[in-house]
């Protein structure tokens, strides 16, 4: 594999310490041989927060020792782990509450939404960016992850935030969505970058004017958060995800780079999309004469990773029984093919 000065990253959700041997096997047998030098580990709240036992990370949450072990394991191999902790949005699925909102229901932006509510009534809850106590608790949670992983980069999530400036929140009702979104980003930046010296990463979809670029309300914003782009620091790395074919290509890496941001475009399991998206993003940085703004290439995975799936994936090539045209088969092909 050719050495490159940009990152080739892989993302997965990971919240079960019993799967650490599988994850290590994935790293040594698939990711490293294919040049992956960064792994975005979406741990979110599945961690044993020692100073905050009220945050229930689940029965198999990772411990600080697990994190140190994983961090050392990867660093020795020239790979870095980027912990991902969902900030602002994605605080649970549907009406259910994340461990943070379960412990602190007063942080909930939509407290009147029933716990059993479903899409389309609600996609995911958010925390209230104006609650006076939320940042103090979140900073302490971030600090435990930072102490355990000793990372250089930290990913704050921030994708698909729909519950913002809710009529249910007495602090935010009638507020400006872009300003509230920017406040949440800047509050996290103040701690992660200004206080702890790490480079912050976030998903970029809420910063895209969906109408202008012809995206839907998942891939871009249709509610007014996109104007937050002018209100946040330029040294945040934006992860611009696009998973499907588009006739007119992918204009947003250029748009973000032109605004001064480093961009890591992100694909999923479609090889043709990955090739085109990455090529366009690289060309955009070259056209702007700032090749360093092309931060790297991110391959995301959105399947559940249990023991069987890890083993199927790790042994994809040697097992003829596996369907190479399945989502996992195609994901493997992307990892192998993208340089």
State the virtual CA torsion across 281, 287, 289, 295 in degrees, nearest 10: 0
Beta carbon nearer to Zn ion, 54 or 167: 167
Q: In this chain, which stretch among 30-38, 129-137, 258-266, 320-328 interacts with Zn ion, using CB under 5 A?
A: 129-137
CA nearest neighbour of 186 among 156, 218, 165, 217: 156
Beta carbon nearer to Zn ion, 109 or 205: 109
Beta carbon nearer to Zn ion, 100 or 239: 100
Q: Are strands 38-42 and 199-203 parallel, antiparallel or unpaired?
A: unpaired
Residue 24: count of CB within 10 angstroms of its CB: 14
Q: Which of 9, 55, 128, 266 binds Zn ion (CB under 5 A)?
A: 128
How far is it, in rounded angstroms, from Cα 298 to Cα 8?
A: 6
How far is it, in rounded angstroms, from Cα 58 to Cα 320?
A: 36
| HEC per residue, 94-151 | CCCCCHHHHHCHHHECCCCCCCCCCCCCCCCCCECCCCCCHHHHHHHHHHHHHHHHCC
Name the one residue in this structure whose structure tokens are 């999923």: 268
Minimum CB–partner distance for residue 172 and Zn ion (Å): 3
Q: In this chain, which stretch among 57-65, 89-97, 104-112, 241-249 interacts with Zn ion, using CB under 5 A?
A: 104-112
Beta carbon nearer to Zn ion, 39 or 128: 128
User: Is 266 an interacting residue with respect to Zn ion (CB under 5 A)?
Assistant: no
DSSP state of 190: I
Beta carbon nearer to Zn ion, 30 or 158: 158
Minimum CB–partner distance for residue 193 and Zn ion (Å): 24
How far is it, in rounded angstroms, from Cα 289 to Cα 328?
A: 37
Minimum CB–partner distance for residue 89 and Zn ion (Å): 13
Count of residues in contact with Zn ion, rule CB under 5 A: 6
Contact 96, 124 (CB under 8 A): no
Beta carbon nearer to Zn ion, 50 or 170: 170
Q: In 3-state terms, the chain is what percent helix, strand and coil (to 5)?
A: 40, 15, 45
Minimum CB–partner distance for residue 138 and Zn ion (Å): 14
Site track 144-183 with Zn ion (rule: CB under 5 A), x = hit: -------------------------x-xx-----------
How far is it, in rounded angstroms, from Cα 98 to Cα 258?
A: 36
In degrees and rounded to multiples of 5, residue 202 shows phi and psi of -155, 155
Q: In this chain, which stretch among 40-48, 64-72, 82-90, 126-134 interacts with Zn ion, using CB under 5 A?
A: 126-134
Vertex 127, ends 10 and 218: CA angle to 5°? 50
Minimum CB–partner distance for residue 90 and Zn ion (Å): 16
Minimum CB–partner distance for residue 109 and Zn ion (Å): 5
Minimum CB–partner distance for residue 175 and Zn ion (Å): 8
Q: In this chain, which stretch among 54-62, 109-117, 196-204, 314-322 interacts with Zn ion, using CB under 5 A?
A: 109-117
Q: Tally the residues of the chain.
A: 339
Q: In this chain, which stretch among 101-109, 135-143, 190-198, 322-330 interacts with Zn ion, using CB under 5 A?
A: 101-109
Minimum CB–partner distance for residue 128 and Zn ion (Å): 3
The contact set with Zn ion (CB under 5 A) reads 109, 128, 130, 169, 171-172
């Amino acid at each position: 594999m050719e050495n490159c000065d940009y990152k080739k990253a892989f993302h997965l959700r990971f919240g079960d310490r019993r799967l650490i041997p599988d994850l290590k096997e994935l790293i040594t047998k698939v990711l490293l041989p294919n040049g992956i030098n960064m792994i975005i580990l979406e741990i979110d709240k599945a961690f044993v927060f020692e100073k905050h036992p009220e945050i229930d990370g689940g029965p198999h949450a990772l411990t600080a020792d697990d994190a140190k072990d994983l961090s050392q394991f990867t660093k020795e191999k020239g790979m870095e782990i980027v912990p991902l902790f969902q900030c602002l949005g994605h605080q649970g699925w549907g009406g259910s509450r994340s461990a943070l909102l379960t412990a602190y229901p007063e942080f909930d932006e939509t407290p009147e939404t029933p716990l059993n509510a479903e899409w389309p009534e609600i996609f995911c809850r958010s925390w209230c960016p104006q609650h006076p106590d939320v940042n103090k608790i979140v900073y302490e949670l971030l600090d435990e992850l930072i102490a355990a992983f000793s990372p250089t980069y930290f990913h704050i999530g921030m994708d698909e935030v729909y519950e913002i400036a809710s009529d249910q929140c007495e602090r935010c009702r009638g507020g400006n969505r872009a300003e509230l979104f920017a406040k949440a980003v800047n509050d996290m930046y103040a701690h992660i970058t200004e206080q702890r010296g790490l480079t912050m990463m976030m998903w970029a979809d809420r910063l895209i004017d969906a109408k202008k670029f012809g995206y839907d309300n998942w891939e871009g914003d249709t509610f007014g958060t996109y104007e937050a782009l002018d209100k946040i620091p330029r040294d945040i790395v934006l992860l611009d995800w696009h998973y499907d074919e588009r006739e007119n290509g992918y204009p947003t890496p250029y748009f973000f780079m032109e605004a001064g941001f480093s961009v890591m475009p992100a694909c999923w399991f479609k090889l043709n999309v990955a090739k085109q998206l990455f090529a366009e993003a690289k060309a955009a940085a070259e056209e702007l004469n700032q090749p360093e703004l092309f931060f790297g290439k991110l391959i995301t995975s959105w399947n559940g990773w249990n023991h069987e799936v890890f083993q199927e994936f790790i042994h994809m090539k040697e097992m003829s029984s596996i369907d190479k045209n399945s989502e996992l088969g195609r994901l493997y092909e992307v990892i192998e093919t993208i340089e």
